Structure 1
């Protein structure tokens, strides 16, 4: 421990950075804890890395400082502290003291000036100072005895480091900052003079005084701006200079003796209660273990203050959970039938068992088993290796015989089972001819229902809920080019990895299920929607959809010819050949050669050629229109007409998409390989892609689609009388809205007025602003505002719903669907304006999108139950947005046309009718 080292923490800088950098963490009673968590982790890390005897955590005090007296606009534009951060200030001060750090707040003096004064005094006494901060202003304090560190970036700045980073030495940082200014503190510098120019001038003229003396010699706009700022610069210099002569005697008892800032012992009982109260489970457990030992034994204070041995640390030094020692868990490797039979008996006797598969592929339709693991109690699991084929591998039980012995348990729904991402495992067993029944829980879906906005992979869940870090796939198989197939993994390693997965899934279930069970809405979403849909999606994926490969190949050839023609037309319009796939060459042609107006720039300052820019330019110029058409057709060709035929499974002759159930926070499904959600339908060429999704001979494609579902949900949720009347009376809702907004009779509404009303109806439920509406309709912003005002005058309860929903979201951090699904909005109280605004728009729309997602899933379940009850051969082959697509034998067509829309309309009772419309055709496009 260094006897003459003072460790200073710029607490105000760090609490803001912790607040913005960490996710929206919450205590058990729902209070925000992200900034607290970051501060604690950072202080623990610092105390371990720099074993100083003296230290202090310095915060800004409330109220104005002497700089406000010098300059009335000082920090005038800085927004107020976010409420979620303000709520954490008192607990932060409390825990800093519990950790043994002196806390300093000096009224009227900023934290920077307190730090500057302390650094000067310690330096004069021959001591050394380390300042932990992210504030560039404090670089002016650096000397041979004072160093800055930044725990977020792992950056340290000594004298040479300051020179390398800023281009000037520490003694000239004030001059540098005077020229650059400080936008955060509202201190003007020289207009248009940034860090590079400021450093260049100081290097050339020696100092700020030298720059001022040479002002008449400096040419260009920068020189003009410098001359205009000459009267201001002395005041700017005064404001950016850290005061190092503040009177601290009344605020640090015993000062100027360094003993006044001696680090204290950690208040372990107080800290334990604090960790418990704020939900910091890893640190609480670590401290409980230490307190349970006799004095002087165990890990000691070093483990408490620092990162535990073997644990990783994030950028705040927060300790990650360490894996439990293998000796604490009992994992069996099953290599003989006697052991297998004992485990089968345990599986049959268990109230619920976790099941996990290890395979040779991520492709669920083709994956084959390498091993299986089970767990019936946390801490106990077994692994049955089946296909490990490396040199020296132990003899393993024959796969077919193992599956035959397991089949009675696997295929009997009376034996409850759980897993992590059950749908994948269902496919794997199906690849071996086994239809597993009895899956009643899926920890991935439990997490999704509880916290849709967070990761749901097993590693993340174990760390978040169990304080455990398991062995990763990369740990056993390696990474990149050196990665080996799982079948080549040493059986002992594979057993530990797989047993851990099934055993952690079981322990996770015991943590997550009670939370869902206690909330009626969450339980309904999990038990009545997500779990049944998971099993149904596996059936849909397994059946697949028939693709007409020859038709796609013809389309691909036609697209290729049109793409070549577009290239020739574009080259003629440009007056030269260029690569239509190169943004750089497009930029050169459009803005350098043809001198088209620059509408937007990229972050690097070059003119943008994104789709929005090209669409605006295409209204007045032919070349951007050709480029846009070329882009669209090239994407169609590469993504669909060329690729879909290659994705046909040779064993089935069909394409088998994978539906991702736990991705979209609204509850909507997404699909990949191929992505069926994004097939474009706005262009004839895009719609033609759907022609290739066909029914087999003797069958029809049938599409069942909810009509105006989100507007109907808005009417239900808001309870607006006028909006509900439009739906209950079966009116054209866009015509009805136009009649309300334009104050005319419905029969007098023009097609243009109806179009405006349609944009408004859909735009407002997505939180569209007057600016967005004006852009969409091509009208003045004032006119758009007038339309919105008139809309809300006619539909006042829609406005009330929006206002109440925003307020509720800010208070709770989430909104809910009609059925109780929680839609989390982590940025709803963000200090970042654009992020907060986006979250507010999502708060309005998410209940409608989420309820629509719930309804289509309930429809899938109800329709499939009816098909199964009737013994129908009709197959559900796709789910896209608010649409279900079926492959229907001709003999069942009339039943499907009659019953499916009736079932879909009856899955829920809203204040307005649900309406589903059905189309029939030989292919998807005809049916849609």
Structure 2
């Protein structure tokens, strides 16, 4: 069977323009949409080459739909100049590929495609495939007509037939336009019927097939004039908007009989383009990776490769550490060669493990794209390569970093920070394995004792780790009261920690269960994994993820050493498994209340600034203010509530969350928040300013320029908008906190290196949020502590001083001032 490919050119060009990184020709002209178009068609021509092909275009003149409804597509912003130029260039592309192009004033490309499909679908031994960047053409599908569109980006496609449409929409292709008549189409500004969504429209169209059938039936129905049933209200609304529904349907219908001269099928015959001509065309546009595909070579470059002349400088791309290790020293040790790759930290660690040098400058593509869009889920080669080959990714990232004013953070913070992290990860931290094994045995005994205690009180044995079984025992068998207990998504009473915590006074078994969970988690989550992961040299090594959060904070994995418990008796015992080398001591340097100091500085609140300048305790001062008592009368409970509120304000916490966290009533929680903002009015003003920036620009920035996109802040959905505003409030504070820590670590790394202390006498081991843990030789500890503290306290200039608390000990759990 032969294939006739109908290309919806404008929709594909639009999709490529927005889905791919920016790319320019050697002359500096924008070209990523044409690159995407060429890449898509190269793939199709290789995997499923057509026998006939045509590309249909929109025209700039007003269409019959705009004449019918002046608001049709009127909400769309003007087409960017960069896209207009590429639409023009795409005609040249189709000419090189020997594909005929069609357009007709007053009609859209979809109407040309609909007319082509209608005319030729009855040809013998011919199937028609429509290639489109959207789903509008699905209504044209029948036994001979199919639609190929994109799943994500432009690299993956899906072929729809009649069954595929029914599986996706629950409707036949021919019913889709009537369906849009009811629900509308926001992308084209087709209104539909107000308040009617898919759940309402779907059964109507499935039952009546067409709007005419439905309205014919609906008009014969008789309604009780005083009735207010939901069904009658719906039918009355549908009848009220009948004209709008029918017009919306007509706007959505693709024409199949427009007056365009087509000629016979043979006039659309597709002949594969001359490979020499195609290579020359791609070379002219700078599509070097596509040239390789014409030559039937792999799309990706070799493991290392010089970047072509369209990328400045003496630069080399490394696919991974193995490829880098095979590269000659003149490249890897050169301070002139720019090293581009994914996961530069892994490459650095591989070189350091072999005592080889891998010199900066670096350009980590994953970190670059994380700065550009910090809410992407993955920044590895597998996911980013779907956007294009590495030269494309590099040039686009460079441009975006400059456009978003992120070059300074990238070059002077994130890239130098790779060196710091690689050394910390390789070094690891000492573990007393025998002590840890002893602790494991002790916790196992405690777990068994608590387990037996629970069974004795409950009067039966059951799986304590099964929430369902536990719930049945507590709430059904034992009849413990359930007032205020939340339910799970499945409707069962929740046995989560916060629920059981509220029941501690209801029955002695609750305290036993909570204690059991504490020991079970201590052993299963921390003790046993640490024993398994410790190296032969008695040290354990975590991996820091530089792109793990949207605010710039690090995350730690395999194992996560940032969430080792603190405070309780057994948490101290666990931390005591971490030991300093002989002749060394652990020294902790912890920024004191840094986020609140940042908040005071950013907001400029005079009262808060004065508290820090006078060296007073901010939580005591806050408690005195909201409880209206002198500072000396503030109780531990008052201070605890004030501390919760202080940090909650940073995270945009509302009255409900404050109530649940502090144990206050919602009324008191709301009153305390109001009083807080009365005492610190500039904080409230600053938060409102940040929220307005998020709504206006769609992103927020910290003083260093680090940004986070927050399009949710302008959502019509109040819940989504509120979450966007909450993130907006927190981002400048938390991200600046992260930046300060990184800058301090970079400066310490350099200073310790200059003094020749690094590794030999002073070892940076761990970073835990606002704390740095060092291992320092006892010979120089008195000299090193003030140096490190001074660097950390002076690294960033604020209107309030930064303060670092220091603690020393041979084991992590025994740290003292």
Q: TM-score, normalised by structure 2?
A: 0.69
Distance in 2 separating the partners of 1:714 and 1:643:
38
The aligned residue for residue 730 of structure 2 is 845
The aligned residue for residue 644 of structure 1 is 530
The aligned residue for residue 729 of structure 1 is 614
Shift of the 61–731 alpha-carbon distance from structure 1 to 2, 3 Å rule, reads farther
Whether the 8 Å contact between 1:738 and 1:753 is mirrored in structure 2 is: yes
Distance in 2 separating the partners of 1:575 and 1:67:
77
Is 887-896 or 231-240 further displaced after alignment?
Answer: 231-240
User: Is 1:685 aligned with 2:570?
Assistant: yes
- After superposition, residues 125-136 of structure 1 pair within 5 angstroms as none
The aligned residue for residue 226 of structure 2 is none
- After superposition, residues 385-396 of structure 1 pair within 5 angstroms as none
Residue from 366, 369, 374 that aligns with 2:328: 374
User: Is 1:560 aligned with 2:444?
Assistant: yes
Give the number of aligned pairs.
753
Residue from 463, 466, 470 that aligns with 1:579: 463
Whether the 8 Å contact between 2:470 and 2:495 is mirrored in structure 1 is: no
The aligned residue for residue 635 of structure 1 is 521
The aligned residue for residue 368 of structure 2 is 447
Distance in 2 separating the partners of 1:636 and 1:587:
23
The aligned residue for residue 395 of structure 1 is none
The aligned residue for residue 919 of structure 1 is 807
- After superposition, residues 474-513 of structure 1 pair within 5 angstroms as none
Is 841-850 or 670-679 further displaced after alignment?
Answer: 841-850
Whether the 8 Å contact between 2:401 and 2:407 is mirrored in structure 1 is: yes
Map Cα deviations across residues 81-108 of structure 1 (whole Å, 9 max, x no partner): 7xxx74657876775576468789989x
Distance in 2 separating the partners of 1:627 and 1:16:
58
Shift of 1:444: 2.1
User: Is 1:902 aligned with 2:786?
Assistant: no
Whether the 8 Å contact between 1:36 and 1:88 is mirrored in structure 2 is: no
Shift of 1:765: 1.5
Whether the 8 Å contact between 2:624 and 2:634 is mirrored in structure 1 is: yes
The aligned residue for residue 366 of structure 1 is none
The aligned residue for residue 283 of structure 2 is 289
Distance in 2 separating the partners of 1:117 and 1:438:
57
Distance in 1 separating the partners of 2:474 and 2:33:
48
Distance in 2 separating the partners of 1:621 and 1:15:
65
User: Is 1:599 aligned with 2:553?
Assistant: no
Whether the 8 Å contact between 1:547 and 1:655 is mirrored in structure 2 is: yes
Map Cα deviations across residues 299-356 of structure 1 (whole Å, 9 max, x no partner): 9xxx99xx975999xxxxxxxx93359999799xxxxxxxxxxxxxxxxxx9999999
The aligned residue for residue 152 of structure 1 is 151
Shift of the 655–679 alpha-carbon distance from structure 1 to 2, 3 Å rule, reads same
Distance in 2 separating the partners of 1:62 and 1:781:
57
Shift of the 785–372 alpha-carbon distance from structure 1 to 2, 3 Å rule, reads same
Shift of the 540–330 alpha-carbon distance from structure 1 to 2, 3 Å rule, reads closer
Residue from 430, 440, 444 that aligns with 1:546: 430
Distance in 2 separating the partners of 1:554 and 1:826:
49
The aligned residue for residue 300 of structure 2 is 323
Distance in 1 separating the partners of 2:363 and 2:90:
37
- After superposition, residues 653-672 of structure 1 pair within 5 angstroms as 653-672=538-557
Shift of the 24–188 alpha-carbon distance from structure 1 to 2, 3 Å rule, reads farther
Q: SS state of the match for residue 876, structure 1? A: strand
Shift of the 749–694 alpha-carbon distance from structure 1 to 2, 3 Å rule, reads same
Map Cα deviations across residues 86-135 of structure 1 (whole Å, 9 max, x no partner): 4657876775576468789989xxx9xx9799959985998899777899
Shift of 1:287: 5.5
Distance in 2 separating the partners of 1:375 and 1:51:
53
Shift of the 637–123 alpha-carbon distance from structure 1 to 2, 3 Å rule, reads same
Q: Which runs of 5+ in 1 are unaligned?
A: 217-223, 266-283, 313-320, 332-349, 360-368, 382-409, 470-503
Map Cα deviations across residues 396-435 of structure 1 (whole Å, 9 max, x no partner): xxxxxxxxxxxxxx6xx99989575555455444544x3x
Q: TM-score, normalised by structure 1?
A: 0.62
Distance in 2 separating the partners of 1:747 and 1:587:
45
Q: SS state of the match for residue 587, structure 2? A: strand
The aligned residue for residue 586 of structure 2 is 701
Q: SS state of the match for residue 848, structure 1? A: helix
Map Cα deviations across residues 350-374 of structure 1 (whole Å, 9 max, x no partner): 9999999855xxxxxxxxx995313
Cα RMSD after superposing both structures: 6.4
Whether the 8 Å contact between 2:279 and 2:294 is mirrored in structure 1 is: no
Distance in 1 separating the partners of 2:740 and 2:614:
22
Shift of 1:680: 2.5
Distance in 2 separating the partners of 1:327 and 1:157:
40
Whether the 8 Å contact between 2:440 and 2:527 is mirrored in structure 1 is: yes
Shift of 1:709: 0.8
Q: Which runs of 5+ in 2 are unaligned?
A: 92-100, 223-228, 269-277
Shift of 1:824: 3.6
Distance in 1 separating the partners of 2:315 and 2:305:
22
